[in-house]
Chain A
Amino acid sequence: MKKLFMSIRIASKALRRNLMRSLLTMLGVIIGVAAVIIMVSLGEGAAASIQEEIAAAGTNLITVRAGSSSSGGVRQGGGSRTTLTPDDAEAIQNEIAAVSQVAVMIRTGAQMVYASQNWNASVQGTSQDFPAVRRWEIKEGSFFTLQDVQASTRVAVLGTAVVENLFGDEDPLGKIIRVKNVPFKVVGVMASKGQTSWGNDQDDIIFAPYTTVQKKLMGVQHVSEILVSAAEPRRIPEATEQITALLRQRHRILPPEEDDFNVRTQEEMAQIRVGASNAMTRLLASIASISLLVGGIGIMNIMLVSVTERTREIGLRMSVGARARDILWQFLVEAITLSALGGIAGIALGAAIAGVLGQSFDWPTRVSTQSVLLSFGFAAAIGIFFGFYPARKAAQLDPIEALRYE
């Protein structure tokens, strides 16, 4: 331990003797480590914001989506099957104990008009429990009711982006908008949810009773999704299993036939999206670590120069009793000191830049302990790896020739 401390002292003295050169050599490692830290913090920030978003949407959420349909071998996208119905939703609500609330979804896009303004947005037909299932607050007015659904009333609840585009500063409550020429009375405005991490504006939307959307706008009987809220998070697997069994039974699907629907929990969706974001992070970090590798080669280069320059010093140290491993250790510690100091400076620089990026571009960034430890360890390992060859070269010098070296 004492010996290690002394080696570090000797090394830092040697590095101070060539301060400018040491700093430039370190710069390679500093930039490499900073790049890794920035990339990883961007990636981890993105993953964290995805998780927050999903938690905000409700972790109890289970989504049942209609499967893909195919006619004559041409497969349509997911949700194109028409086998999922409001009755399925009712059965899930009534027959499965682990389920607290259910809402159906049927969506279409439509042109909507108010006074001289017109706008195109997504129209969501849903049930009265939708705000509870999605944990989505109503800002003004109220959501439509069971009676509205049963009577296919022409009422609508608007997202804030639609309000802005159609009404500007005007109060939308009680006004009539025309959607595909069908008049709807505005009864409420949803709270703003902002963009998803994919960049979709969740507020550019209007909600209406699904019965109205089915009959008045689309002329269909089915729904595309059933949103299910599990009674408790730990009952999600149980609910998922029972929903699958129930729907298979209701749709008369026998093994080995495949489901004509997909059941996804919020957890799974989160995993998929976080997984994608992590893969991106790893890619960026591995590109950044190439610059760290280049920094390591810089260290090796300068250590080789240093060994040659200090051949006489090595010979002298050997003549006064330094063993080969003392010399090896001395140069190795020098290389490790370079890379470790560079690593610390790089972490500080990287964290600072990540912070500035987060502030000024509103990018989610997070510098985790793990990424700090990882990049520091990587930097130190680079010092050992690239310092070993020059150090061994120094240790294997012949003392007589080293002393005579000009």
Chain B
Amino acid sequence: MSVPLIRTENLHKVYSLGDIQVHALRGVDVTVEPGEFVAIVGASGSGKSTFMNVVGCLDRPTKGCYFLGGRDASTLSRDELAGVRNSQLGFVFQNFNLLPRTSALENVELPLLYDGASSRDRHQRARELLKLVGLEGRERHHPNQLSGGQQQRVAIARALVNRPPLLLADEPTGNLDTHTSLEIMEIFQRLNQEQGITLLLVTHEADIASFASRLIRFRDGRIVQDRAVPDRRNAAEERASPPPIEQVGDLGDLADLKKELNR
């Protein structure tokens, strides 16, 4: 096997809130190989967000080591971490975090602004990515002219624009309805299978977690469960032939979305 993409050893994180010391992580050892699709679940306060922040190079562990692609990221400076975030990582957030009053194209280009790409390269790359997530022809739309699902797809395009090997998604479907969630999960599964992009997905919804290949559960700052997902769901198949009962009534809607996505 090649070098693991993520490897943590005895990861600890302690926050000081006034006099109180909060142990958010109490010794996390985990290894993620390239190409995995990992769902991270746990109650709020379980440490999963802190874990994601450390893995996302937004935060440094108090103790322990974090290797990203074989490189020790726990000792990097603020600027070096910014460089790693720029080239190695893509983020997808629950609330999309798009720049308001800014076109989809410019939103997608944003990470490229910080690695010195020429403006022609930026436009070209951003267009490719918007096409990949099915938003061709909407380059000039502003976020308030796009639906929630479309906004999240812009955010995914932005996360992928620097060709990172690792995508971190923090409750990406938290603000979306079931159909749109399915649509986003289909994109994730496709990226994972077709492009070999490694995905870490934080969610508290069990049915969303079941689209991943592996599930890690956090509790009280520790990993309490780490297993392969049985009966893994396939978003593309479910969208093509929706399961009965709940989604039957909205079939028309779903067909529209599908058309839009395939266009």
- In the complex, A324 Cα to B158 Cα: how many Å? 20
A3 to B85, CA, bound (A): 20
By the criterion CB–CB under 8 Å, are A320 and B85 in contact?
A: yes
Asked if B99 and A319 sit within 8 Å, CB to CB, the answer is no
**A325 CB to nearest B CB, Å:** 8
A397 to B136, CA, bound (A): 35
Binds B, one of A57-65, A189-197, A309-317, A347-355: A309-317
**Also in contact, A322 and B82, with CB within 8 A (given A317-B110, A400-B53):** yes
Q: Which of A320, A323, A324 has the most CB of B within 10 A?
A: A320
Q: Is the CB of B87 within 8 A of A321?
A: yes
Report if A318-B97 is in contact (Cβ < 8 Å); known contacts: A326-B114, A399-B58, A400-B58: no
Rounded to whole angstroms, the CA-CA distance of A17 and B82 in the bound complex is 27
Task: Using A6-B113, A312-B97, A399-B58 as known contacts, say yes or no to A320 and B53 having CB atoms under 8 A apart.
Answer: no
Within 8 A of B (CB), among A279-337: 312-313, 315-326
Q: Is A48 an interface residue (CB 8 A)?
A: no
B55-88 interface mask toward A, CB cutoff 8 Å, 1 = contact, 0 = none?
0101100000000000000000011001101110
A318 and B58 CA atoms in complex are apart in Å by 9
Provide the bound-state CA to CA distance between A379 and B218, in Å: 55
CB distance from A302 to the nearest CB of B (A): 17
Interface size class of B (residues with CB under 8 A): 20 to 34
- In the bound complex, do residue B58 and residue A322 qualify as a contact, i.e. CB atoms below 8 Å apart? no
Count A interface residues, CB 8 Å: 23
Do the beta carbons of A17 and B114 come within 8 Å of each other?
Answer: no
CB nearest neighbor in B for A313: B99
Tell me if A321 and B114 are in contact (CB < 8 A). Answer: yes
Q: How far is the CA of A331 from the CA of B56 in the complex (A)?
A: 25
Name which residue of chain A comes closest to B155, CB basis: A316
CB of B78 within 8 A of CB of A320, answer no
Residues of A within 8 A of B59 (CB): 400
> B93–A323 contact, CB under 8 A?
no
- Assembly CA distance A2 to B162 (angstroms): 20
Known: A399-B58, A400-B58. A321 touches B101 (CB 8 A): no
A325→B53 CA distance, assembly (Å): 21
- A17-B101, A400-B59 in contact; A320/B79 too (CB < 8 A)? no
| Measured CA separation A13–B97 after assembly (Å) | 18
**Cβ contact within 8 Å between A320 and B91:** yes
What residue of chain A has the Cβ atom nearest to residue B50's Cβ? A400
A-B contact pairs, 28 of them (CB 8 A): A2-B116, A6-B113, A17-B100, A17-B101, A313-B99, A315-B97, A318-B82, A318-B85, A319-B58, A319-B91, A320-B85, A320-B86, A320-B110, A320-B114, A320-B158, A321-B82, A321-B87, A321-B111, A321-B114, A321-B115, A321-B162, A322-B114, A323-B79, A323-B82, A323-B114, A324-B82, A326-B114, A403-B93
Residues of B that sit less than 8 Å from A by CB: 53, 56, 58-59, 78-79, 82-83, 85-87, 91, 93, 97, 99-102, 110-111, 113-116, 158, 162
